[in-house]
Chains A and B, each alone.
Chain A
Amino acid sequence: NAGVTQTPKFQVLKTGQSMTLQCAQDMNHEYMSWYRQDPGMGLRLIHYSVGAGITDQGEVPNGYNVSRSTTEDFPLRLLSAAPSQTSVYFCASSPEGGISYGYTFGSGTRLTVV
């Protein structure tokens, strides 16, 4: 099993550019979520999905867009990148919202916005 796969691993964007961070899981997990990790802040929830076609906002959703057309994929879109979005982004999945089995995390995407 590949688990949770994130691409790309590194990305540099110019302010105002848009891009999509990819996340795919092969464990048939219903729950998927995106976190950002910033120095001194810990990981914070951006958006999450409880199943295909269902998404909702987390703690820091502004500037990001998500959709969930399949169980396997949960892309995160930056609509117009800003320097404040420089961060490490992690995708996570769980079979049932983490209640019984916890969450599995991807290896992250390190994004720099200049």
Chain B
Amino acid sequence: KQEVTQIPAALSVPEGENLVLNCSFTDSAIYNLQWFRQDPGKGLTSLLLIQSSQREQTSGRLNASLDKSSGRSTLYIAASQPGDSATYLCAVLDSGGGADGLTFGKGTHLIIQP
């Protein structure tokens, strides 16, 4: 069974710092990996989708990388801002069969201090 782990569980940094969030998964048979942002009491907003054949995706100050063979992904946030404070979730879509759907990590709760 696929398992997704996110480290750290929580992170607090001063505004302006560059930071890296980590995601690891146990089964490399995936179609893709998706990073989401969740604000308190809100839904999930998709940030980046990386296909299994890709190494990275970029959107603005966000860059996500994928190393499928080692089962790892990172989300790099450049020049962090207080508005980046949220919980960041990563999820993988398995290609090995079984129920259709995403397997999620538990998230990294990020606080950017003004």
Contacts and interface: CB of A to CB of B under 8 A. Distances in A.
Interface of A: 31, 33, 35, 40-45, 48, 50, 56-59, 90, 92, 97-108, 110
A51 to B, nearest CB: 11
B44 A105 contact: yes
Contact of B46 (A43, A103, A107): A103
A104 B100 CA distance: 15
A50 to B, nearest CB: 7
Interface of B: 4, 31-32, 34, 36, 41-46, 49, 51, 89, 91, 93, 99-102, 104-107
19 contacts: A31-B100, A33-B100, A35-B104, A41-B106, A45-B102, A48-B101, A56-B99, A56-B100, A57-B99, A97-B93, A98-B32, A98-B93, A98-B101, A99-B31, A102-B34, A102-B49, A103-B102, A105-B45, A108-B43
Best-surrounded residue of A59, A104, A105 (most CB of chain B within 10 A):
A105
A92 B44 CA distance: 10
A104 B46 contact: yes
Secondary structure dominating the interface of B: strand
Nearest to B43: A107
B102 to A, nearest CB: 6
A104 to B, nearest CB: 7
Contacts of B51: 100
Contact of A102 (B32, B99, B101, B106): B32
A58 B101 contact: yes
